[in-house]
Amino acid sequence: MANKNYIKKMISDYCVLDTETTGLNPIYERVIEVGMLRVRDDRIVDKYSQLINPERRIGSYITELTGISNDMVADQPVFNDVKEDILAFLSDDIIIGHNTNFDIRFLTAELGRPINNKYMDTVQFCRMVYPELKHHRLSDMTAYLGLTNNEHRALADCVSTKELYDAVKKKL
């Protein structure tokens, strides 16, 4: 799927985005956590992290993967209550993520409209810079490069993604 908002370039001001969800399909599943980092001059200057009540049960597989339980989200806001905070944090920044299309598809489904930010995907950079690797998942890349280990929690994955982007920029 070609997207006019997808770009590839080296930048130092951007927003890292990651979501945790109840499943893989944004039509049927919901966001349960959003994490973001605001980066200026290659330094983290602000963080956003929010658990979200998906208004449905979180399956045991997702709880095992993320550590996010139904009890943890029971008293959290629903997406509609935090959407303006999320959009304000993103502003018009370029979004960077690992498999960014996944996160953007979920946010688009939750918002009921597209996000118009330009975005980049560290998976694509990794495939180009590390073609010798069989897999380019965030966990594989952090292990291979000795970066902060990701935890399938949104903010922790943002930190890993930022470190990965820094490593790719250094290698290029």
pLDDT tens per residue across span 113-129: 999 999 999 999 999 99
Name every residue whose Cβ is closer than 8 Å to that of residue 146 and which is 6 or more positions away in sequence.
none
51-61: per-residue pLDDT in tens? 999 999 999 99
Domain assignment of residue 8, yes or no = no
Structural domains counted in the chain = 1
Q: Is the pTM of this model over 0.85?
A: yes
Is residue 121 within 8 A of residue 8, CB to CB? The reply is no
Name every residue whose Cβ is closer than 8 Å to that of residue 121 and which is 6 or more positions away in sequence.
6, 96, 97, 98, 99, 100, 101
Domain assignment of residue 6, yes or no = no
| Distance separating the N- and C-terminal Cα atoms of the chain | 26
Residue 150, domain CATH: 3.30.420.10
